[in-house]
Amino acid sequence: MATLRWHLRDRTLDLGRRPLVMGIVNVTPDSFSDGGRFLDPAAAAAHGLKLAADGADLLDVGGESTRPGAEPVPVDEELRRVVPVVAELARHAAVPISVDTMKPEVARACLEAGAAVVNDVGGFRDPRMVAAAAEHRAGVVVMHMQGDPQTMQLDPRYADVVREVGEFFEERLRALAASGIPTDRVCLDPGIGFGKTMDHNFELLANLGAFARLGRPVCLGVSRKGVIGQVCRRPRGERLAGSLAVACFAAARGEAHVLRVHDVAETRDAAVLLDAIDRRRR
């Protein structure tokens, strides 16, 4: 892989070697695969530390489920869920902390508590999100979503999903650079399952190279998602093999650089193995 760096506040991540593993810490009662397991902030922080010990390169803390049809969470409640967890992890985990939120108040409070990345499934279309990330020189994950989580799966439509997601990224990179977020702080994410049919998801997975060509790291979130379940006919608890297959396919082609996953230890093993093979390529 060529040199690829992602700047987050005072750190720089090197994505040129093996794919990085972003461990998911959901502080929610209703996330699609692990809702309710880590709603208590102490349990969530302990889970985050375990994922760091398992080899996560980043931890992504979220307090609002974005599964299709999920109920929006009021800002006070989301703050109450995530800020103590981010603060605890920023103090005790050696890896950068990301906050998965669409709310500027939450992004700002988490950055003040030590987060280094804002992961916005809304794609930083809200100028207040942009301002919060710019002021703190945070790294950002710009995800593509058609519509919003309440309605996104009702009737997703594209003339050409790969072209439209690519155009969205190009527009975002330009707009963010003009608003104080330089391109070297941006990671792109096609948003698998966010306003997409199964066909759209597979079109995107098969053509991730179109986004890697934009010169920025690509984050891929397929862990335990419906896109795995529908093909493999497995319930959520049995999608690890499928999740790894998709992640490895993309990473081995140099088309995914950050793997957002629930199963960190297993994904880390896969990433390290890919690297061991890749280093010997002639």
Give the other-Cβ count within 10 Å of 53's Cβ.
Answer: 11
Query: Would strands 5-8 and 11-14 be described as parallel, antiparallel, or unpaired?
Result: antiparallel
Distance of CA 205 to the CA centre of its chain: 15
| Given 228, 260, 263, 264, the residue binding ligand HH2 (CB under 6 A) | 260
Decide: is 267 part of the binding site for ligand HH2 (CB under 6 A): no
In the window 184-213, what residues touch ligand HH2 (CB under 6 A)? 189, 191-192
| Given 26, 101, 153, 267, the residue binding ligand HH2 (CB under 6 A) | 26
Decide: is 83 part of the binding site for ligand HH2 (CB under 6 A): no
Decide: is 31 part of the binding site for ligand HH2 (CB under 6 A): yes
d(CA 251, CA 1): 10
Shortest CB 78 distance to ligand HH2, Å:
12
Site string for ligand HH2, 33-52 (x = CB under 6 A): x-------------------
Query: Helix, strand or coil for residue 25?
Result: strand
- Residue 143 vs 152, nearer CB to ligand HH2: 143
- Residue 134 vs 201, nearer CB to ligand HH2: 201
The single-letter code of the amino acid at 142 is: V
The structure tokens listed for 192 are 């698998």
**What are the CA-CA distances from residue 71 to residues 55, 118, 151 (Å)?**
32, 21, 11
The structure tokens listed for 92 are 């005790």
- Burial class of 52 by CB neighbour count within 10 A (0 to 12, 13 to 18, 19+): buried
Q: Which stretch binds ligand HH2 (CB under 6 A): 25-33, 89-97, 207-215, 229-237?
A: 25-33
| Given 15, 52, 141, 145, the residue binding ligand HH2 (CB under 6 A) | 141
Query: Catalytic site residues?
Result: 225, 260
Query: Helix, strand or coil for residue 217?
Result: coil
Pick the closest to residue 86 from 131, 122, 124, 136 (CA basis). Answer: 136
H or E segment and range at residue 240: helix 240-252
Distance of CA 193 to the CA centre of its chain: 13
- Residue 241 vs 273, nearer CB to ligand HH2: 241
| Given 4, 24, 56, 87, the residue binding ligand HH2 (CB under 6 A) | 24
| Given 104, 139, 156, 221, the residue binding ligand HH2 (CB under 6 A) | 221
- Residue 93 vs 222, nearer CB to ligand HH2: 222
Give the other-Cβ count within 10 Å of 34's Cβ.
Answer: 16
- Residue 52 vs 280, nearer CB to ligand HH2: 52
Shortest CB 143 distance to ligand HH2, Å:
4
- Residue 143 vs 270, nearer CB to ligand HH2: 143
> N- to C-terminal Cα distance for the chain?
13
Point out which residues bind ligand HH2 (CB under 6 A).
Answer: 24, 26, 28, 31-33, 62, 65-67, 100, 119, 121, 141, 143, 189, 191-192, 219, 221, 260
